Amino acid sequence: MHVKLQQHKAAPKKLDIDKYSNWIMVFPLEINQSRPYATVLSERRKTTGGKKADTTPTVCDLPNKQGSHVAYACINDKMSSFELLTLARKLVAEHESFHTKEIAVSVSDFDDIKTERITEAIIAAILSASAEMPSFKSKEKKSEKLARVHAFGVKNSHGFRRTFAEAEGNALARSLSMLPSNKLTPSIYLRRIKELAKENQWKLDFYDTRALQKKKAGAFLAVSQGSPTDDAGIARLRYTPAKKSRKGTLTLVGKGICYDTGGTNLKPANYMFGMHEDMQGSAVALGTFLALTRLKVNFPVECWLALAMNHIGPKAYKPNDVVTASDGTTIEIVHTDAEGRMVLADTLAMASKLKPKLMIDYATLTGACLNSLGTAYSGAFTNKEELIPILVEAGKDSGERVWPFPMDEDFDKAIESDIADVKQCSLESGMDHILASRFLQRFVKNDTPWVHIDLSSSNRKGGLAHIPTDTTGFGIRFTLNFLLDKKMM
């Protein structure tokens, strides 16, 4: 990341405040009157009506030489992580697009743990806002790039390493997802993956359609056969810890449909628009993989990305086709827009054959999940029920919230097929997110503990939590909390 952090253990003195033109400050409900400019800030907050805990910032230009621009809030320190990150995003937005090289952060008069928690949220929001996103405007506005964040009042010495790793992974996920599908075809995507593999010393294998034919991966190929360009395939990346580890492998899997037209069951215009982001699951898997690499985790990690387009065309698969997946399961096609579970079926089967300790997949999979949860939560599914409370807690603690759905066997009734082992989906049911998960779990081999995240919060107007763009890259912060704080690996 191009942004550097400088920590100052003490709270800022008047001299410090006058030095920087852009400030974010957080106080308890009452501003300690011994703090510099406390009177100005308290008075200003009164005129803007602030009495109780703030959920939106107050803005004030200080009466010093450069008129330091301060966005601040007085908060109740019991705020949830989601609320705190949301406030942090708003505080950062008051500094617009950083026409400044430096920004200073002060969190004062909380205990050390709370100070660190609040500062972390602000740094996460600053890094999210300053990350460069793709733009194809012919006349680009040139502005100063943010280079340094000064954090006052934080005692720790870890330098918010994890926040930086998560931000880098998230920026990668968002920037890939925002690329239109003519700028991110499976072959361009693969080129980018190759570059990243080289930079990060990852091992890379790519199973192209010929290799997948050999593996009889008929579920994946049913989708990719509709493309005029034969560039689909499954990328497998591997990270090995520096010190030999006897720990089991974590496997991340992502749906990478670079464009989803719906296929033969063509989507109408208002549902097709935005479908270049149907690869966001793969981008989140890759971003998580990058963040874990940056943190030099002590367990092996694999990342499997199913890259394809879901096209219309004379060769495209059709409803009523019967195809055979790599594990021998025969599938009756019902709706060609349910392509995500098709490419994931073979990917999950191939990845879980290698007996990972834990497998997590990410996919913008179903409209049903979106209808059930909206865009502020993503759906969580697992074949190990005991993981459910841990998943929910990781969502709450990270501020990237997930909510579980049931996965009992009797749901399978709705996808029983007369002609094949299973139906791809059901035309009758509103519970497609659950049926999709029931469908996918068949392809998870060796009783591998498996978590499936249906990314209903991948795109939210105005951003989500600390993320300011509509494209959220949701899932990296959640996953790192689940893996590292909840000690899943």
Residues near Zn ion (CB under 5 A) are: 260, 337, 339
Supply 112's token pair: 């050390």
Closer of 126 and 363 to Zn ion (Cβ): 363
Supply 314's token pair: 């004379």
Q: Do the Cβ atoms of 452 and 363 come closer than 8 Å?
A: yes
Smallest gap from residue 339 Cβ to Zn ion (A): 5
The CA distance from 322 to 424, in Å, is 10
Q: How far is CA 225 from CA 18, 69, 221, 235, 486, in A?
A: 63, 56, 6, 18, 41
Length of the chain counted residue by residue: 489
Closer of 337 and 346 to Zn ion (Cβ): 337
- Residue 122 CA, chain-centre distance (Å), reads 18
| Beta strand 4-8 pairing with 58-61 | unpaired
Supply 162's token pair: 């994890």
Smallest gap from residue 381 Cβ to Zn ion (A): 18
Smallest gap from residue 127 Cβ to Zn ion (A): 32
DSSP assignment, residue 459?
A: B
Cα 478–Cα 9–Cα 74 angle in degrees, nearest 5: 65
Closer of 60 and 306 to Zn ion (Cβ): 306
Closer of 60 and 309 to Zn ion (Cβ): 309
Give the dihedral of Cα atoms 11, 13, 18, 23; nearest 10 deg: 20
Task: Tell me the backbone φ, ψ of residue 392, rounded to 5 degrees.
Answer: -65, -45
Smallest gap from residue 436 Cβ to Zn ion (A): 11
Rg of the chain over Cα atoms, rounded to whole angstroms, equals 24
Closer of 166 and 337 to Zn ion (Cβ): 337
Smallest gap from residue 435 Cβ to Zn ion (A): 14
Supply 293's token pair: 């690499």
Q: Facing residues of 102 across strands?
A: 148
Smallest gap from residue 349 Cβ to Zn ion (A): 20
Closer of 28 and 367 to Zn ion (Cβ): 367
Q: Do the Cβ atoms of 10 and 152 come closer than 8 Å?
A: yes
Cβ-closest position to Zn ion: 337
The CA distance from 473 to 91, in Å, is 20
Smallest gap from residue 375 Cβ to Zn ion (A): 18
Catalytic residue among 267, 294, 355, 396: 267
Q: Is 335 exposed, middle or buried (0-12, 13-18, 19+ CB in 10 A)?
A: middle
Q: Do the Cβ atoms of 313 and 226 come closer than 8 Å?
A: yes
Q: What is the DSSP string of 380-421?
A: EEES-GGGHHHHHHHHHHHS--EEE----GGGGGGG--SSSS
Closer of 338 and 394 to Zn ion (Cβ): 338
Q: Do the Cβ atoms of 380 and 463 come closer than 8 Å?
A: no
Q: Do the Cβ atoms of 101 and 73 come closer than 8 Å?
A: no
Q: Is 267 a residue of the active site?
A: yes
Catalytic residue among 238, 341, 438, 477: 341
Smallest gap from residue 340 Cβ to Zn ion (A): 6
Supply 348's token pair: 């999950």
Closer of 209 and 364 to Zn ion (Cβ): 364
Catalytic residue numbers read 267, 341
